[in-house]
Structure formats: C-alpha cells, structure tokens
Chains A and B, each alone.
Chain A
Amino acid sequence: MNAKTRFALAVVLLGLLMTGPFLLTVGILYADLNEAQRVGFHEAMDRWLPIGGLMTVVGLILGLQLLRALFKQYVQGLSAMAETLRLMLGANRNFRVTLDGPPEVQELGRAANDLAQQRDALLADVEAQIGEAKASVEAEKNRLAALMSELAMGVVVCNLDGRILLYNNRARLQFVALAQGPTSMSGGALIGLGRSIFSILERAQVAHALENIRQRLQKGSTESVAHFITTTRTGQLLRAQMAPVLRTEAEGLAAGDDCRISGYVLTIENITKSFEREAQRDQVLQQLTDGSRAALGNIRAAVENLIESPDMEPAFRERFLGVIDDETKRMSERLGKTMNEFADSLKTRWPLEDVLGIDVVAAAQRRIEDRLKLATKSESLDDALWIRADSFTLIQAITFLASRLQDHYEIRELRFRLLAEGKMAFIDLIWSGTPVSSETLYTWELEPMHVAGEVSPLTLRDMAERHGGEIWYQRDKAAHRAYFRLVLPVAETPEMQHVESLPHARSESRPEYYDFDLFNFSDTRIDLDRKLTEVAYSVFDTETTGLEPSAGDEIIQIGAVRAINGRLLRQEVIDQIIDPRRPLRPEGIPIHGITEDMVRGQPTIDVVLPVFHEFCADTVLVAHNAAFDMRFLQLKQESTGLVFDQPVLDTLLLSAVIHPNQESHKLEAIAERLGINVIGRHTALGDAFVTGEVFLKMVPLLADMGIHTLREALAAAEQTYYARVKY
C-alpha cells in the first residue's frame, strides 16, 4: 500500500469518525419518537440541518488540513530523506540531508549526517593507506627493475607456464646474438614479455631442473638452485641457473608443499666464447706438451746415441747432430707459433670488461684533478676505441703514476693521448720538463700503488700483467716532452656498441622489460572470450611497392611492436626493410621514403617472414586497415608455408564501431580525435607505434560500449560498413 492510498483511507476514516456518531445518535433518537414528535423533528431538521451540515463540512475540512500537514511532515519528509540517504550511499558521497520539518525528523537527519561524516573519514583513511602501499610497491618494482637492468648477467623471470615476466637488458642482448637471421631484424623476436621461454630453452630441460628443485624443497633442502647447460638451435652454449620464486604465506599454500613454486628466475650466461677459449687453452697445452714430447724424444735418443758411442762413424755423427739441430729449430718455431696464435686465450684470465677508452681517460682525469689538484689536458683521443680492461685498477694505476710524477718531478700539467695500433691500445701520459730515468720507472713499477692514503695491494707490473699489457717510458726529445705509455688490449667488437646504434633501442623512458602482473597470466593460447585488456598483441604495419598485391606489388618494409597489459613495449620491435626483387614504383617513393638504394642488399621476404611469424606467435594481430596488410601476407602463404591464422583486430573498423558518425577513419584523424601525438609516421614501425597507441586508447572506449572480449570486438568490427569493403 503506498503513501497516497494510505492518505485517502485516512481521509475516509476521518469523515466517518466525524459524522458517524452524530448520525447514529440521530437515528436512535428518530426511532424512539412518536408521529407528532417526528413532525416537530422534521421541522427542526429543515431549519437546522444546513447549519449543522455546514459546521460538519468545515470541521471535516479543518481535520483534513491537519491530517495533510502531518502526512507531509512525517511520511513524505522521511521518504525524501530516504532518497537522499540512498544518494549518499551510492552516487554522491558528499551529499548531505537538508535539515527540515518537525524536530524529530530533523534529529534523525542530523544523526544520519553524522554517520555519513564518520564513514567518509574512515574511507579517506583507507584510501590513503592503499595509495601509500601502492606507491611503495611501485617504488620497489622500479628499484628492482633498475637494478636488474644494470646486472652484467642475463636474468629472465618466468611463471610456471614458461611465460617471461621480466628480463634485463643483458638477457636481451644475449638472445639478440642468438637469434637466427639478420640481428637488426630479430632483435627481441626471441625474448619478450609474455612470450614463452621455450622458444629459447629446451622445455624438457627446464622441466627437469624445476622437478629437481621441487624435490629438494620437499626434502627441506636450503640449496634450491639448479644448474644446467644447454645448446640453442644456433649451436650456442648457455649455462643457466634456476632459482624458484616461492609463494609467500599470504598468498596461501593450497595443497601442501608442491604448490609453493609460482615461477622461477633464470640467470643465463652465454659460455660459448669462454668454452671455446677453454678449448683453445686445452689445445695449446696439448700442443706444447705432446708436441714437445716427440721432439724431445728425438733429441734425447740422438744425444744418448752420441754419448754411448763415442767412436761412431763421422757420417752417423753428422746425421745425429743434424737431428738435434733440426728438432730444436722446429721446437722453437712451434713454441713461437703457439704463443702467437693463442696469446689471447693464454692471457685473459682476469675478469676484464669492454670499456670505451675515452670513458676511462675521462674518469682518470677527474680523479687526478680531484685528488692531486693537478691540471690535465687531452690531446688526440680516439673516441671510438674500446679496450678490454679492469677499469678500476687501470684508473688507479694512472692516478698512481700521476702522483709519482707530481711528487718527484713537480709537474704542473699532465696530458693524455689515446690511440690504437692493431690489437693494441695505447694510453699515453705526457708531460714536459725533467726526463725520468728508466730505473725510476722500474722502481715505481714494483711498489704497491698508493695515492693520497689509498693503498692497493697491486703494483703497476701486476696491473700490466693482468691486462696482458705493458708499460714503458719514452722521450720525445724534439718536443722536450716525455711520456709513459700503457699498452692494453683492444676489445673485440663489443656487443653494447652495436646495440646502441640500433634504432629505437635508445628511448628516453626506462625500457619496459618487466611486467609483474603477468604472474597471474597463464595459458598461451588465444581464447576469444578473454578480455581485451588481457591479450598480448603484435601491432604491425607494412609499406608496399603499390596498392595491388594481386598485380605483383610486394612488401618492402615491416614494422611491428608488442602491446601487452595496456602498454606498448617499444623495445620489442621488428623494423626491417625488405628487398622486393622488383623495381619500386617512382610514385610510391615520396610516400614511404624507401629508395632503390635502401632495399638493395636487404633480406628478401622469404627470410623476413619467418622471423615476423615467430614474433607474432600466440598474439593477436592489430593493424590499421588490416585487410590490406593481411592480403599481402596471405599471398605469401603458398611460397613460404607460413599461415597467419590468429585473430586480427583492425583499428579502422574499431574506430567505426566507436564513432560511427565521424567522417574520417584515417589513422591521422583517429589519432587526433584520441589525442595522440603523431611522430615518425610513414615508416612501417612509426605507423605501427601510432596504431598501437590508438588501439590501446580504444580498449576502454569499447568497454564503455559493453565490448569487453576479443569475440565481442571481432563481431562488432565485422558489422560495420567498412568491413564490407574487400581487397
């Protein structure tokens, strides 16, 4: 029964109460009267009824007014307050009850407002705490990521499905070196967030190591690290160490000990080189021992014959002497050759790293100026020279020499020169004035290096030997100058140098090498009912010679970038120009900016497509006007055997889904609508970046329209007008 019906009922009841008793009394009285009295009564009624009726009606109206006022203040006032309270519970936390009406209602409103106040204070407190906790977790993540990226060892963290959750730069470099094909293109093809580690390591081997750890944990062993050595498809030798990531108590231990492992950390070292070096060293030893044995045996037999038979015929004596002469010569030659050939593998036992020569010189200069207050200058520094050195000891040695020169010869200035000659790098410390005697350097060479109270256990000689280097003193008489020359080995093509010159590797923001949210991600297959926010994407674009694939137009550039967990991973990319094996159309060159010169010598599509295919494995493809690009890929299916059968999302169609009334769905127009800065368009990778950004902005817009899953997005895209245009 609603309030209005109740009010109507109350009105009827009031009318009955006001007239009922009176009418009843009149009825009883009337029944008791005789005929004559009834006539009198009729007369009286005729005269007094209008007044009595009027008074009754007025009374009724007054009663009605009173009832209405009470109803308004209590019933309707409380209903309005209930609505306000609902609002405060839900939509608008800051809303308050307006105090109004009779005192009892006002008091109730005041109490409700006080409760709301208390609730708000509590909520604000909880939110502040959550915010604080989040910030500290974020800071910790960042610290960890920064630390990892600086580690000199490759580190990869995986969950139990073998999905990569985190990796550092060194791991990426290692796997870039491992990737098949031209490295500029396969950079990151093997390693990537959310990708499977089993494309690099043997699944069985990883499983075996994990099983070992599990058993050890069950036995309560504290040594829960497993080691294994594995070879990659390209024949590289990797040494891996596996440590488990254990679930904390808070995350709950569901069914006993087995379930404690939630993932693992792999530290990976490419030992191919050191293994080769080890093998070389072995070979040297072998050559020196076994090779010498035979020669020595020959000599010894000849010598003993000569001794045993002093009366030997001259002809025999000549021959035996000839043997000795011959063998000693050959032995010396062999020794010389071995030393030459294997000099590198014999020397580098000390952990040396590849450093940029000018960095070392600059650091040494800073230290000398700082500690010794001695001015330094540079002349002719080779800024592209990489040396193999233990930079700490090297800088210490240079500072030590400078301090000796300052103490003993009172030099005012020290100049530096850095140059290379073949496999040797020279660091020269030059000064003018008093020449030093060679003996002085010999004594300095043998004393422990000490500078301003800091003493090293090493001597200059130790430093030189560690580096397989030398140090000497030379005079430049014409210029009245002298210098110490430190000789160090030149580094063989350092890997860092190469990678830094790669496009897009240098980015202002910190590289996105980790994503801990992936811990909860499992199952690499693409499930159409998975949410758009939980899918891994490969966003790509191609540049082509023309618009008609069926008329022989070919792909000349592929750019692709990975997107996962709402982020574009700008380090995980493919950026490759392709030789189309046909002349370019002159009208296309201004659009894509790729000239004949640029495609010449580049790999052909048969080489590039497998790499791209691997990059896209287990991900959803995203492209703008995807039908066009897919057509080109499909035409290659027959010749390469590679099928791109994963789901494809088209940003053009999705844009038509989101903004059906907009005129243009060109990439630039969409980017502008969604507020995305467009830089570097019309290279395949540049366009892939823009497409990726656009797509990531579209995902929440689609969600607002009730499109959450992959299946829903595909269906919605299919229904748009643009989907009907076919290539």
Chain B
Amino acid sequence: MTKKILIVDDEPNIVISLEFMMKREGFEVATAADGDAALAQVAAFAPDLVLLDVMMPKKSGYEVCELLRADPARAGLRIVMLTAKGRETEVAKGIALGADAYVTKPFSTKDLVAQVKALLA
C-alpha cells in the first residue's frame, strides 16, 4: 500500500519541489499552506508522515506538532520538521515537542528522501 505524505509549508517554491520529489519516489502526496489547513488535512487525508515547516501563518509548526502529538489516535504518525531555523535550541525544541526528525534548510533531497523512507519502513 502506498504511504501518504502531507507537505505543510507556506512557501510554494519549496512545496513544488517536495511534492515532485515525493511523487517521484512513489508516495501519495497532499499539501497545506498553513497550520490550520495542516490540521484539517491530517484529519481528511490521514497521512503516514508530515513534512512540517516551522515558520507559518496562523499556527506555527511547533504548535501543529504539539496538537498532533496530543492526539493518541495519531500515535503512529511520523513528523519531520523542516525549517530555516538552525540553532541548537530550536532543534532541541522540535525534538522535545515530539518531532521524529528535524531537518534544517538547505537540505539534500537525497538525504531527505532516505530519511523519510527510513521513518516509514
């Protein structure tokens, strides 16, 4: 069964690349442009993994991550945070809030794909 990935980012320029890449790898893909839309999409689309940007309008990635982790029904959901914030403190915060991985931009697409696959294996 094809795994489903939700891409959450307010910048279309990265969404387009991520979407293309993930589709090429054979995943089923949906997108959301802000925190609220992300939560709605998680409910509607039921993804196996979320690629989550931190800096977004309405709700930040941290908030979305926290809300998702607070829902026991979604315990199996994998969350990968994608962000331009690369300070150690921010990485620590993402992991502490329950992200499975924390990837800082700019990242290698190959590595990201490998990481996503490993998480979904």
Q: List A302-347 residues whose CB lies under 8 Å from chain B.
A: 302, 304-305, 308-309, 316, 319-320, 323, 326-327
What is the minimal beta-carbon distance from A372 to any residue of chain B, in angstroms? 55
Which single residue of chain B is at the shortest CB-CB distance from A307?
A: B109
B2: CB under 8 A from chain A?
Answer: no
Interface size class of B (residues with CB under 8 A): 20 to 34
A304 B109 Cβ-Cβ under 8 A? yes
Write out the residue numbers on chain A whose beta carbons fall within 8 Å of the beta carbon of B82.
297
Complex: how many Å from CA A301 to CA B55?
18
What is the minimal beta-carbon distance from A290 to any residue of chain B, in angstroms? 5
Write out the residue numbers on chain B whose beta carbons fall within 8 Å of the beta carbon of A309.
20, 24
B17 A298 Cβ-Cβ under 8 A? yes
A300 B108 Cβ-Cβ under 8 A? yes
Interface size class of A (residues with CB under 8 A): 20 to 34
Q: List A263-297 residues whose CB lies under 8 Å from chain B.
A: 289-291, 293-294, 296-297
Write out the residue numbers on chain B whose beta carbons fall within 8 Å of the beta carbon of A355.
none
B104 A301 Cβ-Cβ under 8 A? no
Say which residue of B16, B55, B108, B109 sits within 8 Å of A323 (CB atoms). B16
A299: CB under 8 A from chain B?
Answer: yes
A294 in contact with B24 given A320-B16, A326-B13, A327-B13 (CB within 8 Å): no
B84 A323 Cβ-Cβ under 8 A? no
B11 A294 Cβ-Cβ under 8 A? yes
Looking at B24, B82, B105, which has the most chain A CB atoms within 10 Å of its CB? B105
A298 in contact with B21 given A290-B86, A293-B104 (CB within 8 Å): no
B109 A297 Cβ-Cβ under 8 A? no
A301 in contact with B109 given A316-B20, A323-B16, A326-B13 (CB within 8 Å): yes
A300 B21 Cβ-Cβ under 8 A? no
Complex: how many Å from CA A320 to CA B17?
7
State the majority secondary structure of interface residues on A: helix
B21 A297 Cβ-Cβ under 8 A? no
What is the minimal beta-carbon distance from B35 to any residue of chain A, in angstroms? 17
**B7-36 to A contact mask, C-beta < 8 Å, 1/0:** 000010110111011001000000000000
Write out the residue numbers on chain A whose beta carbons fall within 8 Å of the beta carbon of B11.
294, 298
Complex: how many Å from CA A315 to CA B81?
29
Write out the residue numbers on chain A whose beta carbons fall within 8 Å of the beta carbon of B21.
301, 304-305, 308
Say which residue of B24, B84, B85, B107 sits within 8 Å of A300 (CB atoms). B107
Write out the residue numbers on chain B whose beta carbons fall within 8 Å of the beta carbon of A294.
11, 14, 55, 84, 105
Write out the residue numbers on chain A whose beta carbons fall within 8 Å of the beta carbon of B110.
304
Write out the residue numbers on chain B whose beta carbons fall within 8 Å of the beta carbon of A293.
84-86, 104-106
B24 A296 Cβ-Cβ under 8 A? no
Complex: how many Å from CA A305 to CA B20?
8
Say which residue of B24, B86, B108 sits within 8 Å of A289 (CB atoms). B86
B20 A300 Cβ-Cβ under 8 A? no
Complex: how many Å from CA A293 to CA B54?
13
Write out the residue numbers on chain A whose beta carbons fall within 8 Å of the beta carbon of B85.
290, 293
Write out the residue numbers on chain A whose beta carbons fall within 8 Å of the beta carbon of B24.
305, 308-309
B109 A308 Cβ-Cβ under 8 A? yes
Complex: how many Å from CA A299 to CA B17?
9
What is the minimal beta-carbon distance from A414 to any residue of chain B, in angstroms? 54
What is the minimal beta-carbon distance from A482 to any residue of chain B, in angstroms? 50
Complex: how many Å from CA A309 to CA B113?
15
What is the minimal beta-carbon distance from B54 to any residue of chain A, in angstroms? 10
What is the minimal beta-carbon distance from B98 to any residue of chain A, in angstroms? 23
Write out the residue numbers on chain A whose beta carbons fall within 8 Å of the beta carbon of B13.
298, 302, 323, 326-327
Write out the residue numbers on chain A whose beta carbons fall within 8 Å of the beta carbon of B108.
300, 304
Which single residue of chain B is at the shortest CB-CB distance from A294?
A: B84
Complex: how many Å from CA A327 to CA B84?
14
Complex: how many Å from CA A326 to CA B18?
17
**B83-97 to A contact mask, C-beta < 8 Å, 1/0:** 011100000000000
Complex: how many Å from CA A294 to CA B16?
14
Write out the residue numbers on chain B whose beta carbons fall within 8 Å of the beta carbon of A297.
14, 82, 84, 105-107
Complex: how many Å from CA A514 to CA B17?
72
Please name 27 pairs of A and B residues whose Cβ atoms are closer than 8 Å in the assembled complex, sorted by A: A290-B86, A293-B85, A293-B105, A293-B106, A294-B55, A294-B105, A297-B107, A299-B106, A300-B106, A300-B107, A300-B108, A300-B109, A301-B14, A301-B17, A301-B21, A301-B106, A301-B109, A302-B13, A302-B17, A305-B20, A305-B24, A305-B109, A308-B21, A320-B17, A320-B20, A323-B13, A326-B13
By a beta-carbon cutoff of 8 Å, the part of chain B in contact with chain A is: 11, 13-14, 16-18, 20-21, 24, 55, 82, 84-86, 104-110
| Shortest beta-carbon contacts, A-B, top 5 | A297-B105, A301-B17, A293-B84, A294-B84, A297-B106
A290-B84, A327-B13 known, 6 other contacts, Cβ within 8 Å: A290-B86, A293-B85, A293-B105, A299-B106, A301-B18, A302-B16
